[in-house]
Amino acid sequence: PVLVVDFGAQYAQLIARRVREANVYSEIVPHTASVADLLAKDPAAIILSGGPSSVYATGAPFVDPALFEAGVPVLGICYGFQAMAAALGGTVAQTGQREYGGTAVEVTSAGTVLSGSPEQQTVWMSHGDAVHAAPEGFEVLATSSGSPVAAFEDRARRLFGVQWHPEVKHSPLGQKALENFLYEGAGLAPDWNAGNVVAEQVERIRAQVGSARVICGLSGGVDSSVAAALVQKAVGDQLTCVFVDHGLLRSGEAEQVEKDFVASTGVNLVVVDARDRFLRALAGHTDPETKRKIIGREFIRVFEDAAREIVAGSDEDVKFLVQGTLYPDVVESGGGEGAANIKSHHNVGGLPDDLQFELVEPLRTLFKDEVRAVGLELGVPEGIVWRQPFPGPGLGIRIIGEVTAERLDVLRAADVIAREELSKAGLDRDIWQCPVVLLADVRSVGVQGDGRTYGHPIVLRPVSSEDAMTADWTRLPYDVLSVISTRITNEVPEVNRVVLDVTSKPPGTIEWE
């Protein structure tokens, strides 16, 4: 792999993604990894990421000069560039003068990484310190007003560095620079793709599972669906998927899983109709955390019953559980390989840690967009592959107040209209998701036809996000909002008002509960 050494800040994941976009496999490693740790992974190349520190600050992450003696091509970016310069005897000056945002650089010699670059270009900078003198043996490739040495390379030793951030889209030629490093600097071939991932994971799953029985909780979302499709491809009928219909689903969802997913994958599917059970358990509860806990608890019970039933009458056990854990979850929990790092609340709706299954996690090296590519490769229907995130507790946390069958029907009717109109306007892939929320305990006065109404408001919560950790409200076109509002108030009699949530996250979360 190409190893991306993470010096903090937000950039390492982005670099790893950009490397993969160049069809080269990459992994993120913490900066605390020793040179021996890094070399044990047999890296094809190493990229040192940016980070918030100054190389001179006490406790600043340190780069062992031995790293540069290993014969592995290295690219330093921002902090990584300065750390490389400092480790090899260059001069890094604490200027205190920040270069931030779009910055003009002058390319004095294209070298390897800047090959194909114009002499003047704009790049994205974010730094205080600057490299004033390159280490011995390095050629200076570019300068900017705040960075006497803005890029350098030692072609013989295959060591490269740039002060700016080639991984962000605000550096228009950034991807080109990364590809120059990977293809020319490190001599790598762009041969990593969704097809390889499928082949490799199928092998791994077979090796892990052997002839044992496997179950997978299917939510209808992209992660669990793609994970299930991979495992199905690997071990066929040893896998049984369990879909719990808790009655908190949106219109058409259960059918989509039952028909489309089974038709495209041929997976064994058990659908458990647990609608009454969930409604009974939720009756009388309005506190968001209580509702979430009830839904999580009931889910586990239903799921465990289903697992027992799958093997009833045989002497087999279900030994493995498929989880759709993604790479960001792994990285954010420390990047380790151990079970301790696994999020137990992912996808399956809150399975506890002491569950007696071994986990199969075929997506734990992948980013969301890669999961989608793998899904398409496996023939998972596009309607599932491109689905927006939907929370495990479903509409249960989008009814503010007690959850009842009638309120669920009202919310489903409003939600399907919003989704239809957003799709019709071609906005599905522009927005991260658009929760539709029923304020069930709020009523307001309206007028419709000749009569007074006293109905409930529906909240539209369209958000744009990269990863759901932060989000902004999406500026939807007024005419689309207008059609949604008119249709909901006309077609859903209980609703007489549609309001738009214009809060970013933070301070608001995406969901209302």
Q: Residue ranges for the binding site for ATP?
A: 219-225
Of the candidates 239, 499, 468, 227, the one whose C-alpha atom is nearest the C-alpha of residue 363 is 227
Pick the binder of ligand XMP from 205, 231, 254, 510 (CB under 6 A): 510
393 interacts with ligand XMP by CB under 6 A = yes
Return the DSSP state at 310: H
Q: Which of 78, 216, 241, 434 is catalytic?
A: 78
394 interacts with ligand XMP by CB under 6 A = no
Beta bridge partners of 360: 322
Q: Which of 167, 179, 253, 513 is catalytic?
A: 167
**By the 8 A CB rule, do 366 and 326 touch?**
yes
Of 31-39, 147-155, 324-332, 390-398, which part binds ligand XMP (CB under 6 A)? 390-398
Of 281-289, 299-307, 385-393, 482-490, which part binds ligand XMP (CB under 6 A)? 385-393
Minimum CB–partner distance for residue 433 and ligand XMP (Å): 6
How many angstroms separate the CA atoms of 245 and 254, rounded? 7
Minimum CB–partner distance for residue 415 and ligand XMP (Å): 13
Minimum CB–partner distance for residue 98 and ligand XMP (Å): 32
Instruction: Report the 10 Å Cβ neighbour count for 271.
Output: 16
- Residue 308 or residue 343: which is nearer to ligand XMP going by CB? 343
- Residue 253 or residue 494: which is nearer to ligand XMP going by CB? 253
Residue 167: active-site member: yes
Minimum CB–partner distance for residue 290 and ligand XMP (Å): 14
Of 79-87, 140-148, 378-386, 505-513, which part binds ligand XMP (CB under 6 A)? 505-513
Minimum CB–partner distance for residue 285 and ligand XMP (Å): 16
- Residue 173 or residue 468: which is nearer to ligand XMP going by CB? 468
391 interacts with ligand XMP by CB under 6 A = yes
511 interacts with ligand XMP by CB under 6 A = yes
Residue 31: active-site member: no
Q: What is the CA radius of gyration of the chain?
A: 26
All residues at 6 or more sequence positions from 343 whose CB lies less than 8 Å from its CB, including other chains = 325, 329, 333
**By the 8 A CB rule, do 341 and 333 touch?**
yes
Spell out a b/e string for 9-18, using b for 16 or more CB atoms within 10 Å of the CB, else e.
bebbbbbbbb
- Residue 258 or residue 511: which is nearer to ligand XMP going by CB? 511
Of the candidates 367, 4, 321, 343, the one whose C-alpha atom is nearest the C-alpha of residue 197 is 367
Contacts (CB under 6 A) with ligand XMP, residues 430-459: 433
- Residue 346 or residue 456: which is nearer to ligand XMP going by CB? 346
Show the tokens assigned to 2: 């190409």
Contacts (CB under 6 A) with ligand XMP, residues 313-352: 347
Binding residues, by number, are 219-225
**What are the backbone dihedrals phi and psi of residue 6, each rounded to the nearest 5 degrees, phi first?**
-90, 110
392 interacts with ligand XMP by CB under 6 A = yes
Pairing verdict, β 436-439 and 451-460: antiparallel
How many angstroms separate the CA atoms of 286 and 72, rounded? 58
Spell out a b/e string for 241-266, using b for 16 or more CB atoms within 10 Å of the CB, else e.
bbbbbbbbbbbebbebbbebbbebbe
Of 265-273, 364-372, 388-396, 439-447, which part binds ligand XMP (CB under 6 A)? 388-396
Give the helix/strand (H/E) hosting 213: strand 213-218
Pick the binder of ligand XMP from 389, 472, 499, 504 (CB under 6 A): 389
Question: Residues in contact with ligand XMP, total (CB under 6 A)?
Answer: 11
The three-class DSSP label of residue 248 is coil
The packing angle between helices 288-310 and 275-282, to 10°, is 150
By the criterion CB under 6 A, which residues form the site for ligand XMP? 347, 389, 391-393, 433, 468, 505, 509-511
Residues assigned a catalytic role: 78, 165, 167
